[in-house]
Structure 1
Amino acid sequence: MSKDTFLKGAFILTLAGVVVKIIGSVNRILLSRLLGGEGIGLYQMAYPIYLLALSISSAGIPVAISIIVAEKVALADFRGANRVFRISLGLLTITGIVFTFLLYFGAGWLVENQFVRDPRAYYAIAALAPAIFFVTILSSYRGYFQGLQMMTPTAVSQIFEQLVRVVTMVFLAFYLLPLGLEYAAAGASFGAGPGALAGLLVLMYYYWRYGTALNAKIAMQPIIKQEASGKIILRIIKLALPVSLANIMLPIVSSIDLLIVPARLENAGYTVGQATELFGYLTGMAIALINVPTILTGSLASSLVPAVSEAFTLRDHKRICQRTAMAMRFANLITIPSFVGMCLLATPISQMLYGTPNAGVPIAILSGGVIMLGMHQITTGVLQGLGYTAIPLINMTISAAVKIVMSWTLTAIPAFGIKGAAWATNVDFALAALLNMYFVYRYVGFRINAQDTIKAITAAIIMGAIVLLTYDAVMLKTLHNTMATLVSVCIGGIVYSIVLLLLGGIEQQDIEKLPKIGSKLAHLLGKIGILRK
């Protein structure tokens, strides 16, 4: 029953995140073609409810459980760690049942009181009820395994959950479509339930698989006085609530953007249609794209929470600094070249992915936010691991308030327009990250390593120059934007990696920590002579 190393766990979660994103993208394409605009509209009226449940259960609760479990494990109190899991499982089972019945019987109330405008969406909302139950229980298992710093169960369960969900959604939507769009949309919504159940069964299997080793550790440990159940429950709530609220803030800020940006664009002189189109370029295309590089930084943050919590419990300040530095360095190694690449190829990428060059300007502006967004995720993980879960929430609230003021002001200025809204989003990311950095420095004493950052920046600048030259050369020869963009991105990635290795920005121990291929790759690069020990 060996736990994953900090970086190995992050890479495992990253791989799972990429697979889940790919499956989700295929699902959106199939479902859109199957249901059409009207059917997707019915489905989207119910889907935010599932997202709300998911944001609470997959963010706040697992983080809280993982922090407490990591503390217990650090003190070799495996009985206490298992007790935290069992108490949380019992609590969340009751919570899941309550919210499942509330949603099922409340679906009609939502329609009758015009919170949901189309009465046909009733079936799609009611069909989500089973998912709420399974997703809530699922969060307890994920928090427990993450607290043990075992990320493989969470990663495998995420993949199975998404796969079963998508297959069920598409099958039921296709099977029920002859009965009417409302039933097809309900079938698509119902798919979330079997998906969550599949993920839960995977985690239950891992719990059974490691049960013998866990019971052996519990049997060997001396009797330790355990915390009262009520105290554990209160601590879970205290830790989970700020994280859940922070996660809910993202859709809230998006909703505020919906109210502010199009209206202020109209004040800047755009028509309603033009304002809607520009808003789509910003939120539906540019923001969706800049979230892609942060799959790794999000995984690093998830892996960082129990790792920091364990070190904090043992009062091992040096290990906290080491893990924070390692996470921040890897975040910069990913986000800095992502910023350069997206900024330089913004318009070609927009044309390749979305079939229009018009999202290029928002993508170019928001690309700078990638670095700050990654920094914000890492620092949030550190603060949560230290038990300061409320601080990132407060910082997000402050930065969101500043963003609202800037969006309101800049978007209405004709010279800025949608660019003003993009810059306001950048300021939001930057302010939240810098506020978090202040508190990380205050509690940990951590500062970003300037030497490592300069190496990453140098490699990214060289990569950028090669990317531009490659794009122009391939475009001149083939006149095919997609081909030129893909070739440029691939060559840019290779150039960045080689330059970084030559500069000593990646060391042997970094490569060795990669799962499966790390040791062999490090040995090969060492033989060539381009890897620093």
Structure 2
Amino acid sequence: MTKQNFLKGTIILIIAGMITRFLGFINRIVVARIMGEEGIGLYNMALPTLFLMYTISQIGLPIAIAKRVAEADARNDQPRIKQILIISLSITISLSILSSILMFSLIPYISTYLLTDDRVFYPMMAIIPIIPISAVGAVIRGYFQGKQNMKPQSYAQVIEQIVRITFVLLLVTWLAPYGIEFAASGAMVAVIIGEAASLFFMLRMFQLKKRIKLRKNVYSYIKTGRDTLRQLFSIALPSTASRMINSIANFLEPILVAQSLAFAGFQATVATKQYGALTGYALPLLFLPTFITHSLAVALVPNISEAEAKQHKKLVHYRIHQAIRLSFASGAIATVLLTLFADFILQNMYGSTSASLFLKIMAPCFLFMYIQYPLNAALQALDLAKQAMWNSICATIIKFVVLLCLATNPQIGIYGAAIAMCAGVMIGTIFHLVTLFRKIRFYIPIKMILKMIILIGLTFWMGLLLTRIFPFQSTDILTFILIILLLFISYIIFLFGMQFISKDELQQLRKK
């Protein structure tokens, strides 16, 4: 079983994330151009319910599996690893079946009365089979993460996107003439097929690389697994509560937006279209850098867990600082690009600039989101999942209060939802930082904060300067590409000049 160090594992995940994000944007462009804003709105209204059921079926086990497998692997305790996998699979499969039944029974009520658009019924029904598929896949991913082998899940991500795009083209094109709701259902089915292909690949890799036989003495491992179950749940339950808050928030968000806009006097079709522009056009662009921050977070958990177990406090602080620094570096350039070139990017990607103001309002605020991922991972690795949960609860409550206050105002409307999202992101990140300071005296030095401000200020100035030197129109792709290349070269110079990325970190990539 091939292991990678922190930076190598992160780079592997980042490369896979970069490929999958690129393929994912191709997928979104195809879907957006075929289904339009209204179809995207239906698609995104259905997803939060899926994520809620998905969270219930996993109950936070992937992080717990990764942590406990890493501990057992350090002791070369193969029977314990087998027991972890058997118990985890038993729990996730059982819960995924129950979640599927619950979702099947609630969908008619949710689509008609809560989401106020009964067309959502079809895409929500179509996606039910993904729950058990994703639940099993999450267990296998947790196993490979615990083994500190990031390659199988990275390859699986790319396979999933390729298969998904292929079937999106086939199914959405085929079903679009029958109605928007059927086209959205076709997009959901494509997601299922992609997840299934990913799962089959990981199962094959598990079969080739495993040193244990899962099907032997299964009952005895379950019968004697009380201690293993307790250890898993000590991490999984607080983690699940935190994920559940986010899933419930995502589930309630389209409902509250729809009801708030209806209260403000907007018709259901108008509200769906506006919500589609926000969640289908703006948010995917804002979340683009998170494939880097998520990769850092995934690789951070076993590294911090190991360092904390060995009482290497300085290494714990260094890893968190390193993850924040790299996360901010990835998010700062994205923030500048989305702020300066919102209209150009949206017009050429989606054929619409309706989400332009969303991007300009939200992009600076989402810098907090990019560093929130590694902060949350650090809390999980330090057994502070309960504190992370309360942070999420407080941030979510504040977000919803802001949403209800602003979105019900006819003069603000959907922009109230955008502002509320920004408030939730910023407050959640600040709460995580406060928790880490209270527990381990971790803080971001003033020097680093000043560097962050200077970095994004210089990059924004360089972007403005380049647009004045090379003026371009919405159809001038070559000039835009030239500006982006020059801006990236300048940004890399800024990064190394301000030591956001050090030579020592580059040398670590060569180490095993």
Is TM more than 0.5 here? yes
Residue in 2 that maps onto 1:235: 234
- Cα separation, partners in 2 of 1:406 and 1:244, compared to 1, 3 Å: closer
From the superposition, tell whether residues 39 and 247 of structure 1 become closer, same or farther in structure 2 (CA, over 3 Å): closer
Identify the structure with bigger relative contact order (alpha carbons < 8 Å, sequence gap 6+).
2
Report the equivalent of 1:90: 90
Task: Please tell me whether the aligned partners of residues 53 and 99 of structure 2 are also in contact (alpha carbons under 8 angstroms).
Answer: no
Does the C-alpha gap of structure 1 residues 332 and 193 become closer, same or farther in structure 2, counting only changes over 3 Å?
A: closer
Residue by residue, what CA displacement relative to the aligned partner does 1:101-126 show, whole Å, maximum 9, x if unpaired? 5556x489669987798888776555
- 1:211 deviation in Å? 1.9
Give the AA of the match of 2:298: S
Alignment of 1:13 with 2:13, yes or no, is yes
Structure 2 counterparts to residues 51-90 of structure 1, below 5 A: 51-55=51-55, 60-90=60-90
The aligned residue for residue 362 of structure 2 is 366
Deviation of residue 258 (structure 1)? Answer: 1.0
* Equivalent position of 2:243 in the other structure: 244
Task: Report the residue type matching 1:312 in the other structure.
Answer: E
1:79 counterpart letter in structure 2? P
Unaligned 5+ runs, structure 1: 216-224, 520-533
Does 2:323 align with 1:327?
Answer: yes
- C-alpha separation in 2, matches of 1:195 and 1:296: 22
Kindly provide the CA deviation profile for residues 491-522 of structure 1, in whole angstroms up to 9, marking residues without a partner as x.
111101113323433211222345xxx69xxx
Change in CA separation of 1:182 and 1:288 when aligned onto 2, cut-off 3 Å: closer
CA gap of 1:509–1:41, structure 2 versus 1, over 3 A, is closer
Q: Shift in Å at residue 298 of structure 1?
A: 1.9
Query: How much does 1:54 deviate?
Result: 4.1
Separation in 1 of the partners of 2:240 and 2:460?
A: 42
Partner in structure 2 of residue 438 of structure 1: 434
Hey, what's the Cα distance between the residues in 2 that align with 1:275 and 1:179?
Answer: 23
Contact 1:20 1:162 in 2 (8 A): yes
Question: Is residue 384 of structure 1 aligned with residue 380 of structure 2?
Answer: yes
Deviates more, 1:326-335 or 1:50-59: 50-59
Q: Is the 8 A contact 1:80 1:226 kept in 2?
A: no
**Corresponding letter in the other structure for 2:436:** V
Alpha-carbon separation, structure 2, partners of 1:479 and 1:320: 47
Q: Distance in 1 between matches of 2:115 and 2:458?
A: 52
- What is the aligned partner in structure 1 of residue 314 from structure 2? 318
Aligned residues: 502
Q: 1:198 aligns to what?
A: 197
Q: For the structure 1 residues 153 and 378, does the alpha-carbon distance in structure 2 shift closer, same or farther, using more than 3 Å as the test?
A: same
Q: Give the partner amino acid of 1:89.
A: L
2:393 matches 1:394: no
SS of structure 1 residue aligned to 2:60: helix
Of 448-457 and 466-475, the range deviating more from structure 2: 448-457
**What does residue range 412-451 of structure 1 map to in structure 2 within 5 Å?**
421-451=417-447
8 Å contact 2:317–2:442 — kept in the other structure?
A: yes
Q: Take 1:229 and 1:44, find their aligned partners in 2: how far apart are those partners? A: 38
Query: Aligned letter for 1:248?
Result: S
Contact 1:20 1:158 in 2 (8 A): yes
**Deviation, structure 1 residue 158:** 1.9
2:332 is paired with a residue whose SS is helix
Q: 2:483 aligns with which of 481, 488, 494?
A: 488
One-letter amino acid matched to 2:161: Q
Identity between Structure 1 and Structure 2 (%): 27
Tell me the distance in 1 between the aligned counterparts of 2:121 and 2:249: 26
Instruction: Give per-residue Cα distances to partners, 1:380-413, cap 9 Å, x unaligned.
Output: 1100111222322221221222233334445677
Partner of 1:289: 285
1:434 Cα deviation from its structure 2 partner: 0.9
What is the TM-score with the length of structure 2 in the denominator?
0.82
Inter-partner Cα distance in structure 2 for 1:318 and 1:276: 50
* 8 Å CA contact retained: 1:264, 1:412: yes
CA contact (8 A) 2:3 2:149 kept: yes
Q: Partner amino acid for 1:322?
A: Y
CA distance, structure 1, for counterparts of residue 497 and residue 56 of structure 2: 44
Aligned residues of 1:379 and 1:436 also touching (Cα < 8 A): yes
- Deviation, 1:238, is 1.8
User: Which of the numbers 456, 460, 468 marks the counterpart of 2:456?
Assistant: 460
Q: Report the CA distance shift for 1:414/1:457 in structure 2 as closer, same or farther (over 3 A).
A: same
Whether the aligned pair in 2 keeps the contact of 1:349 and 1:485 (CA below 8 Å) is no
Deviations 1:438-482 (A, max 9, x none): 111222222224434434443433332221121122216x68565
Offset, 1:21: 2.8
**Does 2:401 align with 1:405?**
yes
Partner of 2:131: 132
Conservation of the 8 A alpha-carbon contact between 1:173 and 1:184: yes
Mean CA deviation greater in 158-167 or 462-471: 158-167
- Rate the CA distance shift 1:393–1:487 in 2: closer, same or farther, 3 A: farther
Is the alpha carbon distance of 1:393 and 1:235 closer, same or farther for their aligned partners in structure 2, counting shifts above 3 Å?
closer
1:358, distance to aligned residue in structure 2 (A): 5.5
Give the direction of change, closer, same or farther, for the CA distance of 1:448–1:77 in structure 2 (3 Å limit).
farther
8 A contact 2:67–2:302 mirrored in 1: yes
